[in-house]
Structure 1
Amino acid sequence: MSPVSPTATPTAPSRWLSAYLGVVTAVALAVGVMSWFALPRPELGPVVLLCLMGLVAYQVREPEANLRIAFSFLSIILVASAAVVGIFGAWLVGGVSMLIDRQQPLRFVTMFNAAMTAILGASAALTYRLLGGVQGAGMADMTTSQLGWHVGVPLLAADVVACLLNAILLSGVLHLARGIAFAVQLRRVLSGSGVAYVGYGVIGLLFVILWFPAGLGAFSALLVLAPLLAARWAFIQYGEELRSHERTVDTLVTALGTKEPSAVARSRRAASLGEWIAEELGLTPSQIGTVRYAATLHEIGHLGVPTRLLRRSRASLTPSELRLIDGQCVVGARMIEGIDFLESARSGIRHQCERFDGTGRPDGLAGHDIPIAARIVAVAAAVDDALRDRPEDTVVSVADAVRVLRSDPARFDPEVVDAAVAALDKHGWPASSPVKVAS
């Protein structure tokens, strides 16, 4: 399950966001009312147990750093609810599970998450029913083959429907709230949680089989907790590893900042713009992470450049001094050699001074032989350099950045330039820009 994260949004929300939230909430309420009056009502005991399990599953969720969404095991409970308590029961389990969120200070976000999850639960149960899924005690006397066709197949299909609907609804709200392209966010969610949903669907099926055919009833909940806790432990370790990576990068940037304080803000701006460009180009989450690391550390080689040169403008430098500064790309790539998680970002740092026509440094790569991370970092750094070279009271527009990028067409990848223009139009300038920007 991937609810909306409490992470603050970097851009102003769309004026359609409130309408979107209202529509999702209204649909959730309508589904609940219709299923209550039009369909058989589930037994109270199983519904209460599943609601409690859903609440616990959501409260112990762990954040997933790359996707900026929270991830929990609630999908297992929802899938099992489709076969155990039916449409209204699954709707209620989904909605109740999200109503208490100690990590989310914004009540409207909690209400949206509850409405979205109620829709997911009801949709999964409806899919299960439409595909002929058997509910409740009717599974007790079924053969293995019958269980596979009348419980397993419908339940896994219900899991797939819940996964897709979750990705669509979440991508919609993040598109309106944060300006992320819908297709990009959809791909992010599916690539990040789609595989996990398959595994969760299998565990949900095991839960149902233990409940009815095995005759364990509510006791099956205790047996399901063991693999859940093991999976949660593994996920916590993965999250801690990602946080360790971020701390390592922060340490490197801090070291650069002790020599060149302004480089810290430049690193953050380049990382933001690089990530936006990568999203516009439709790169995978792994590639976007590589771009973000490369852009953040694109000036780490300045640690090997004399401070007196870094403090002077490029116009005042001699050709030999310029070569020394531009050689920081190779120096920077060497500095992070041996750091495993930054290995893919090294080429983005080393080749950021290549030219698209093949006349650049250090290796004279041309066109698409230049790593995509390097092509993106080159554009992001050029935009920031263009801003930095302007007087502080100058008002700068996106058109000014476009002129800079297109003034030397042999320097940059035109597709990356177009993506940068689209990203700037969508997000505005990266935070802490050194000049005034046109609104």
Structure 2
Amino acid sequence: MSTVPIASSRSQWLPAYLALVVATSVATGVASWMFLPRPELGPLLLLCLMGILSFQIREPDVGLRISFSFLSIILLASAAIVGAFGAWLVGSVSMLIDRRQRRWTATMFNAAMSGFVGAAGAMVYAMLGGVEGSGTVGLSTVALARDLGWPLFAADVVACLLNAALLSGVIHFDQGIPFGVQVRRVLSGSGVAFVGYGIIGLLFVILWYPAGLGAFSALLVLAPLLAARWAFIQYGEELRSHERTIDTLVTALGTKEPAAVDRSRRAAVLAEWIAEELGLTPGQIGTVRYAATLHEIGHLGVATRLLRRSPASLSPTERRVIDGHCVVGARMIEGIDFLEDARSGIRHQHERFDGTGRPDGRAGQDIPIAARIVAVTTAIDDVIREPGAAPVVSIAEVARRLRGDPGRFDPDVVAAAVIALDKHGWPAGSPAPVAS
């Protein structure tokens, strides 16, 4: 089960969205209590305790500020063991006790989302003929696959998609990330595991009823549950290791050129916004962000005296040395596996869309998308921070200047950049622009 912390509201629709999710979840719980079979108390209490435990020991960061717990496995098993109301209660109670979350709005949203996802999965299971509780006892292998396995798999897929949709909705209203982009991010980050771990939920149910182990089955599935948690801990640690590597490279650049650190951070934020507007995949967005963050890493191979001089005072030879930083930077990160795709974005950032740029004279779509985006982000930063720019130019003026040289930039990237700036404003650390 993926969850997300809620920061500060960036949209007037966020409170309405949160209220809608909570109200829908409560209504679902009430309706399932009134109109559907009620669960046995003993199994319900055990599953609630397991749900609480799973959420308390969750992996807090699997990327994109999203946490993951094996609560989804407990909810899936709940669909067959305690039905819709039981699954709703397990999901809701598990999230309400959150020792790490200080924002009550986030706690309420996560609890409502989890309860609704659990109940929805249980309803799908029932609609497809899934057998609840002791009804699975004595079923043949074929009957188990038909009346337990297939309905439980379908419930797992629906729960995964619903979890991704609800999360993406709150992130869209909270952070302005396009809904479709965020859905792909969630599904690529934890969706496969969400569905794949459904086999553990199926095992849990089989051990509970057909195998006749009852509550003791909870102990037997504990090992694979902890193994699932370990796998996500490793995944999260790998992502954090990547970020530490990036930070180390940027820090090294900052020791030589302090101002480059802020430029790198602004470029990364703006490049990510543009990539989102272009609808790139999560993997492509990550590549773009890495390329933008390290777009000036090649300055480590340029003499400091050249970097400190104004562009107007440089000779043509000195200008070529500085302009060659993109090739130098691409070479510097060669051999770092997770940055391999970003290398082309760094190397080709000075290409022109009409094919007259450096270093290889690539044109149009032959220029890597990361390089086309980095070219626009760096140009925007140059415009809003150019010497003597007072007052700071507006977004409309930035757009006019970018479009003033039609052979330089990809027009689709420029259009996405304007939309991103209109939506998000200027990246942190940028001077405040005048009104458009």
TM bracket, shorter-chain basis: over 0.9
One-letter amino acid of the counterpart of residue 90, structure 1? A
Residue 277 of structure 1 contacts residue 419 of structure 1 at CA under 8 Å; is this kept in 2?
A: yes
For 1:266, the equivalent position in structure 2 comes to: 263
Paired with 1:99 and 1:135, the residues of 2 have a C-alpha distance of 26
For 1:298, the equivalent position in structure 2 comes to: 295
For 1:160, the equivalent position in structure 2 comes to: 157
What are the equivalent positions in structure 2 for 1:261-410 lying under 5 Å apart? Answer: 261-391=258-388, 393-410=390-407
Superposed CA RMSD in Å reads 1.4
Q: Report the number of matched residues.
A: 436
Paired with 1:87 and 1:282, the residues of 2 have a C-alpha distance of 36
For 2:416, the equivalent position in structure 1 comes to: 419
Q: 1:173 to 1:435 in 2, by over 3 A?
A: closer
- Aligned mate of 1:244, from 218, 237, 241: 241
Paired with 1:299 and 1:338, the residues of 2 have a C-alpha distance of 18
Paired with 2:171 and 2:119, the residues of 1 have a C-alpha distance of 22
- Aligned mate of 1:17, from 14, 17, 25: 14
Paired with 1:63 and 1:349, the residues of 2 have a C-alpha distance of 32
For 2:4, the equivalent position in structure 1 comes to: 4
* Unmatched 5+ stretches in structure 1: none
Q: Deviations over 1:182-217 (max 9, x none)?
A: 111111112222211221211111111111101111
Between stretches 390-399 and 343-352, larger displacement belongs to 390-399
Paired with 1:437 and 1:218, the residues of 2 have a C-alpha distance of 65
Between stretches 234-243 and 40-49, larger displacement belongs to 234-243
Residue 313 of structure 1 deviates from its aligned partner by: 2.5
Q: Does 1:113 align with 2:110?
A: yes
For 2:181, the equivalent position in structure 1 comes to: 184
Residue 99 of structure 1 contacts residue 114 of structure 1 at CA under 8 Å; is this kept in 2?
A: yes
Q: SS at the partner of 1:430?
A: coil
Q: 1:213 to 1:280 in 2, by over 3 A?
A: same
Residue 316 of structure 1 deviates from its aligned partner by: 2.8
Q: 1:321 to 1:226 in 2, by over 3 A?
A: same
TM-score, normalised with respect to structure 1? 0.96
Paired with 1:388 and 1:435, the residues of 2 have a C-alpha distance of 11
Q: SS at the partner of 2:349?
A: coil
Paired with 1:162 and 1:295, the residues of 2 have a C-alpha distance of 36
Paired with 1:103 and 1:436, the residues of 2 have a C-alpha distance of 38
Q: Deviations over 1:231-278 (max 9, x none)?
A: 221221221121111111111111111111110000000000111111
Paired with 1:437 and 1:65, the residues of 2 have a C-alpha distance of 39
Residue 392 of structure 1 deviates from its aligned partner by: 6.4
Residue 405 of structure 1 contacts residue 417 of structure 1 at CA under 8 Å; is this kept in 2?
A: yes
For 1:53, the equivalent position in structure 2 comes to: 50
Q: 1:232 to 1:65 in 2, by over 3 A?
A: closer
Residue 63 of structure 2 contacts residue 236 of structure 2 at CA under 8 Å; is this kept in 1?
A: no
Paired with 1:274 and 1:346, the residues of 2 have a C-alpha distance of 15
TM-score, normalised with respect to structure 2? 0.97
Q: 1:139 to 1:65 in 2, by over 3 A?
A: closer
* Unmatched 5+ stretches in structure 2: none
Between stretches 352-361 and 190-199, larger displacement belongs to 190-199
One-letter amino acid of the counterpart of residue 424, structure 1? L
Q: Deviations over 1:37-83 (max 9, x none)?
A: 22221111111111111111111111344332111111100110000
Paired with 2:139 and 2:283, the residues of 1 have a C-alpha distance of 44
Paired with 2:298 and 2:29, the residues of 1 have a C-alpha distance of 59
Q: Does 1:82 align with 2:79?
A: yes
Residue 122 of structure 1 deviates from its aligned partner by: 0.7
Between stretches 139-148 and 400-409, larger displacement belongs to 400-409
Q: Deviations over 1:321-365 (max 9, x none)?
A: 211111100111111112222111111111101111111111111
Percentage of matched positions with identical amino acids: 73
Q: 1:73 to 1:102 in 2, by over 3 A?
A: same
Residue 275 of structure 2 contacts residue 373 of structure 2 at CA under 8 Å; is this kept in 1?
A: yes
